[in-house]
Structure 1
Amino acid sequence: MPPSRWSRAAAEAMDTDAIQAAMPSPPISGGAAADRIADALGTPNVIGEKAAVTAFVVRRFVDRGLLADLSANPDGTLHHPDQVDQVCRRKDLADLVAADTPLGPEQAAARLRVRRADFDHMVRLGWVRSPQSIEVRFGTSRAGAVDVALYTTASVDAIPAAHPEVDWEQLRAVEKGRRSPLASLRPAPAPA
């Protein structure tokens, strides 16, 4: 490893070690943080049932700067339990969780009251971006696995206001099998 990379990695490791040394208890996983947040909302996550709050929401809280990720693992997060408890005491916790709740493409299209094909054009146009995807398996084989993009509820809800040039009522009235009015639009050029 080049010296500059090693120095950065060593500094990050020392910061993590210092943080962990100052903690009264070990860090908790993103799943455990999600469980604490769900409990704080009065909607506990129950094994075997759809989770009220997921690790996806916890990752969005990290993106917002509400929680620090103490892990260098891209497949999971670790959090200071006191920081999670502090987030759980926020008066706007329910609103934050609702805004960061994941939606698949079908759910996003239904929320906007448009066809899935229209939502796919919105993605192509760059009107909404997926911060994370999940692997969904069909059957027991990896050959039947597909990646499904997830979108935050807030990012989906923001689309109509961000694009007033679209006649949303007309778009919502397009019948199945008809070409989307969004099909002829081109993505805006990327800023230089």
Structure 2
Amino acid sequence: MDAPAIRRALPQEPLTGGMAADRIADALGTPNTQGDKAKVTSFVVRRLVARGLLVDLSGNPEGTLHHPGQVAEVCAREDLTELVAANTPLGPEQAASRLVVRRCDFAWMVHLGWIRHAETIEVRFGTSRAGAVDVPLYTTAAVDALVAAHPEAGWEQLRTVGKGRRSPLATLAKARAGTPA
């Protein structure tokens, strides 16, 4: 990819993933403001790239660049609100909360292969990398699809299992593996 040729062909400089996220947030009427939690993040922009709605012009794994016209087209979509909501990131705790299950039950869903993370982020504690952990992020749409896709989970029972009790999904995983529960 010839970066200078791409830049010459664009009507203006390409937008970074963060700038694209800001424009999408503005189009939704919920601007990202500095110092506050972003309403639309670069994660959403990367999901739009994965869905083929935006093209990454950079080829850089550390950041993305986008054609301003493509970003404007996405911002003009009538289904923009739903599109952003479906591609909003959820960590494991948030996903479990959204499903109204315990965190350990969500971990069993991951173990069973019912859901895969869209990407991971590194979260640091303090200033050194010694306290860094990778946190998987799931799309809201993937989390929301679990209930309909897996009725075998027994969602009503799963949502009432008490703290400290064995997950029904553990039994399901053992049954799938062919070992006695």
TM-score, with structure 2 as normaliser: 0.93
2:140 matches 1:153:
yes
Instruction: Write out aligned runs for 1:72-151 (5 A).
Output: 72-151=59-138
Ranges in structure 1 where 5+ consecutive residues have no aligned partner: 1-12
Matched, 1:68 2:49: no
Q: Which residue of 2 aligns with 1:28?
A: 15
Q: Quick check: 54-63 or 135-144, which moved more?
A: 135-144
Letter in 2 for 1:125: L
- The unaligned stretches of length 5 or more in structure 2 are none
Q: How many Å separate the matches in 2 of 1:133 and 1:86?
A: 28
Find 1:48's aligned residue among 27, 35, 47: 35
Stretches of 4+ aligned residues off by more than 6 angstroms: none
Report the counterpart of residue 59 of structure 1 in structure 2.
Answer: 46
Counterparts of 1:178-189 in structure 2 under 5 Å? 178-186=165-173
Superposed CA deviations along residues 142-174 of structure 1, whole A, max 9, x for unmatched, are 111111100000000000100012210000000
Count how many residue pairs are aligned between Structure 1 and Structure 2: 176
Displacement of 1:78 in angstroms is 0.4
Calculate percent identity across the aligned residue pairs.
Answer: 69
